[in-house]
Every structure is written in C-alpha cells, then in structure tokens.
Amino acid sequence: MPAALVTGASRGIGRAVAEQFAADGYDVAVNYRSSDSAAREVVDTIERETDQSALAVQADVADPDAVEACVDDAVDAFGSLDHVVNNAGINQHRYTPELSPEDFQRLLNINVVGTFAVTKAALPHLEDSSVSEGPSVINLSSRLAYSGADYEPHYATSKVGIIGLTKSHALEFGPTIRVNAIAPGFIETDMTDATTSEEAKERKRQDVIPVGRLGKPEDIGQAAAYLRDASFVTGETLNVNGGQRMQ
Ligand code: NAP
C-alpha cells in the first residue's frame, strides 16, 4: 500500500487531508504535537471507515530528533513513505509593538524550519518510492503570504517562506520528487475560530468571499489530493480561497 505522512493531523485541515488520503487508498501516519486522544480518534475513524492502516505519531515538528523518530516510525509501520503533507503550523494574533523577537522566532521554527526538517527526514524514503504518480511533498502556505497581515506579521512572513522553500525543493528534488504548496483562504478550524467573531465570519460570507461561504477543511483535502496525483505539476502554489484572492 502507498503511504503518506500528514503533520498536524489531529484536527482541522490536517485531519481532513489524512482522511482524504485514506479514502483514496493511502495508509496514513497522523502526526500531532499534544492532542493524543484527538489523533487516536483520527486513526480509529480511518481504520473504521476505510481499508487503510493509520498510525498516530507524536512529534513537535520544531524538534529535529523527534521528527526523525516520527518519520522512522511511519516507515517501520507501512514499509514505505510516498507523500508528505507539511500541514502543522501555528498562528498568533499580535501587532508588532506587542510581538517579541522570541515569539517571531518560535513561530518561524514551527511553520518554516519544521516544514524543512520533516521534508529533510523524509527525503531518503521519498527517493525510494515507487508510486505511479511519483512521490511528492505538499506544504501549507496561506493567502496571507500574498496580502500580508498587519495583526500577524510573523505568520504572513512564515507563509511567504513556505512558498520559497516549496520552489527551492521542487528545483532541488526534481525529477524524482514533486514539491507543491497550497495557499488556503479562510478555512473554518480551531485556528480561525479562536480569532474570528461570528459577525466577522458573516461579513466574509456576504461581502468578501465570492463563492459566498467559508472554506471547509475538506476543501483543502481535495486540493492536496489533486497535487498528490498531478504528475506534471511541481513548484506551484495552489490558491484555494473561494475567490477571495484573484490575480
Ligand atoms: P489547527 O486547527 O490549529 O490545527 C493545527 C494542527 O497542527 C494540530 O493538529 C496541531 O496538533 C498541529 N501542530 C501545531 N503545532 C505543532 C507542532 N509544533 N508540531 C506538530 N504538530 C503541530 O490549524 P488549521 O487551521 O487546521 O491549519 C493547518 C495549516 O493550514 C497550518 O499550517 C495553517 O497555517 C494553514 N492555514 C490555515 C488556514 C485557515 O484558515 N484555517 C488558512 C491558511 C493556512 P495538536 O492538536 O497536537 O496541537
């Protein structure tokens, strides 16, 4: 069976990606940082509703040794690693006067260096992959990489970094491994629930998002499945935002 590792898959977008990949016939390693029971529930759901195997693998992506162990556990369990989805990430609403360099650095360590570390640890296994679509890495950027965000400058910076890392790795790892990114718009998850009022959500539905609804984690699961299978696409960032950003 082909296998994938999805980081930050205990909830939100990562969970939807893990469930989409399992529905499509991939065994899935469900990485998480602290939500043991939520990650176990994702594993149980996959094993109950599909014919695939799943494994919960704890690791803080900002800890390179833990990342190595997490990748090794996934390969030991499934025998191969064919796709990696670097989804784990944090956000923090803070204007610059209240934002410390330490907070800025911590966020970059998780969102950018963590993505780099997971890809680096997975690289030898992806190189050994024999899936017909070819192995791939999919990184989570954001619409805010293009627009910037006055209330979260470190987050927007990290998501610009993801696009640069995606293109660099696409150049470096081709032709063997494709590397792409997804830039979601507003997706309803714990991350956005924590910072967005119901009024603000309604305004987005009515005035801001041309398709007239907020994004669902499953919208990103479908985008990740497309990039996983799109054997002529690499170095790209796929915008999935209901039309909120058009070029
Ligand atoms: P979420 O609901 O907050 O879930 C975050 C997930 O990442 C959880 O599974 C969490 O694990 C995990 N995680 C956080 N820090 C981690 C770390 N250091 N090591 C390993 N896992 C870690 O977030 P989300 O909204 O689904 O977002 C997922 C990704 O999409 C992020 O990269 C985010 O920046 C990006 N994104 C989201 C939106 C949006 O509108 N929601 C828009 C654009 C981009 P625990 O549960 O164990 O803490």
Q: What is the mean pLDDT of residues 113-125?
A: 98
Q: Say if residues 111 and 203 touch (Cβ distance below 8 Å).
A: no
> Where residue 209 falls among pLDDT bands split at 50, 70, 90?
very high
Q: What is the pLDDT of residue 129?
A: 98
Q: Say if residues 8 and 34 touch (Cβ distance below 8 Å).
A: no
Could you tell me the CATH superfamily of domain 3-240?
NAD(P)-binding Rossmann-like Domain (3.40.50.720)
135 C-alpha to ligand 1 centroid (Å):
23
Q: What is the mean pLDDT of residues 78-90?
A: 98
Kindly provide the residue ranges of all beta strands, DSSP E only, lying in the chain, ordered along the sequence. 3-6, 27-32, 54-58, 83-86, 136-140, 178-184, 237-240
Q: What is the pLDDT of residue 70?
A: 98
193 C-alpha to ligand 1 centroid (Å):
12
Say which DSSP state 50 is in: S
* Mutation to probe ligand 1, out of 6, 61, 118, 191 (largest number of atoms < 8 A from CB): 191
Least confident residue range of 42-51, 180-189, 192-201: 192-201
- Provide the 3-class DSSP secondary structure of residue 170: helix
Where in the sequence numbering do the catalytic residues fall? 155
Instruction: Give me the residue spans of the domains in the chain.
Output: 3-240
Rounded CA-CA distance 133/25 in Å is 13
Rounded CA-CA distance 86/84 in Å is 6
208 pLDDT higher than 90: yes
Rounded CA-CA distance 23/40 in Å is 17
Look at ligand 1, atom 23, and give the residue with the nearest C-alpha.
Answer: 191
In sequence order, which residues have a C-beta less than 8 Å from that of residue 241 and are 6 or more positions away?
A: 143, 183, 184, 185, 186, 209, 215
92 C-alpha to ligand 1 centroid (Å):
12
Q: Give tens-digit pLDDT for 1-50.
A: 999 999 999 999 999 999 999 999 999 999 999 999 999 999 999 999 99
Q: What is the pLDDT of residue 125?
A: 98
Alpha carbon of residue 155 to chain centroid? 14
Q: What is the mean pLDDT of residues 177-195?
A: 96
Rounded CA-CA distance 145/48 in Å is 37
Phi/psi-derived region of residue 54, left when phi > 0, alpha when psi is between -120 and 50, beta in every other case: beta
Closest CA to 218 of 54, 19, 16, 69: 16
Percent of the chain exceeding pLDDT 70 equals 100
Rounded CA-CA distance 150/208 in Å is 18
Our answer on whether the CB atom of 58 is closer than 6 Å to any ligand 1 atom is: no
pTM of the model: 0.98
Q: What is the mean pLDDT of residues 181-191?
A: 97
Q: What is the pLDDT of residue 204?
A: 93
